[in-house]
Amino acid sequence: MALDDPRELVDFYDLLPVSNVRLFPQLYQQVDGQASGDLLVQDEADPLWSATVNLDVALLAEARDLDALLNSMPPPRKFYLRDVARRLPAADPDNGVTLGGCSITVRSIGEDNSSVAFSGFAPGYVLSRGDFWHVDFGADPARRGFFQLLEGDAADEFGNTLELAVTPSVWPGIAEDLAVTFIDAACQMMITPQTYTSLTFRRGGGWRELPGHPEALMRDNDADSIAALAAAPIQGIIARQFIWITANSLADGTPASFGFWNGRLPVTLDVVVGADGSTESRTYEADGAVISVDKIPLSSDLNVRNASFILSMLHPTVRTLWGEYVLKLAKVKIHRAPFTPTGRLPVAPPRRRFKGSVDTAPKKTPTPSAEGGLTVNCVSASADLRVINPVMRSDESQKLRSGDRHSKYADVVGTWEIMWGGSS
């Protein structure tokens, strides 16, 4: 079967086990320093979209399959790529249901080719700064323009928007009435030579808790997890982290819980919450919400442990958590579960690996072409053992214990002078 060039999403990119992707405009500029200290910047060429894609591979057979998939692409290895964390406009209200029924077109293009107006939206539909869209145009060769909105707007009663600034500038050949795609907007890419290395396989698939390791022996794992760990050196295994945060609202102090995991799609599943193995159903957001989770060592003592993870500020739920809730001292529980390498299914309900509270949560605002995020630093629940009781030893504090008057004369008994043979 002949494959298209460039490869469509379903024929290449959607087959990759993408763990995260960073999409950014590559600028081509010349910068000259002047004796006055000023910098002169000149664009040498139009910016091109670039991306760094990280893959999550566990099995030798899976690595070989990906090698073959990549090797099947003739130079210069062109394909379509989308941002897994931004499949839809940020303010989309119903996961693309309404937008999917609309026929969006280019309504007008600004005189300087730096802005575009759209038509065909549902009345009131909201576009936000940062939303991606693409438009196909031309024939022989067919071309695709991939753009990002630099400002937002809401469609009027007729489904039209104002002219909104976009980056990069609108290419020649893009005209009014061309169809526009906001769902799974994809950019045409090529693999830069010498930036892809043939995939290698490490026995164990990256899962460190193998039988014989102290951590595996200390834990009371279920039979399915133990069997999966035993087979990991041959079959491989994948670990997934599930983060559960309970924070109080800034508005009225009402607590609310937020779940995130480092998978592709939102999931609802049972997690182990009790020492007796009892479970509770929880929903965890995905779509690139979790950027990374630091290693969490297990121990059997009461030492205070630290855990850190980074959430993406591009995810709307993360922005809601950071902007509308108090993160300081918010309760945090991190579960982990082994997943099958082939079907990407949980072997058993996730078990808790960390319980504690948020210590600090600084937001990192990225510089151009750099990564940002919300770094959450946590301390384990054993930190509560270091809290000192501020209550002083006195009659008043003692009376709180069911009227105990043991310390009734504690403040004056030290001044009493009792004669030998006398009584108090």
Running along the chain, 424 residues long, what does each successive block of 10 average in pLDDT? 75 83 80 73 72 73 77 82 87 91 94 92 94 90 90 94 92 91 92 66 37 40 78 74 95 95 88 86 91 85 90 91 93 91 80 93 73 88 82 76 79 78 61
- Region at 13 (left for phi over 0; alpha for psi -120 to 50; beta for the rest): alpha
| 225, 214, 232, 205: CA torsion to nearest 10 | 120
Q: Which helix (H) or strand (E) holds 108?
A: strand 105-109
pLDDT score at 401: 77
What pLDDT shows up at residue 58? 55
- pLDDT of the residue at 206: 37
pLDDT at 83: 87
**Cis? peptide before 141, omega within 30° of 0:** yes
Tokens of 299: 């121990």
DSSP code at position 393: S
Confidence at residue 252, expressed as pLDDT on a 0 to 100 scale: 93
**What pLDDT does 423 receive?**
62
Return phi, psi of residue 68, to 5°: -65, -40
Q: Where are the beta strands (DSSP E) in 198-342?
A: 238-249, 255-261, 267-272, 279-284, 290-293, 306-311, 325-339
Q: Cα separation of 20 and 56, whole Å?
A: 9
Q: Which pLDDT score is estimated for 370?
A: 64
Task: Please work out, in degrees rounded to the nearest 5, the angle formed at the alpha carbon of residue 241 by the alpha carbons of 238 and 246.
Answer: 165
Beta bridge partners, 109, equal 116
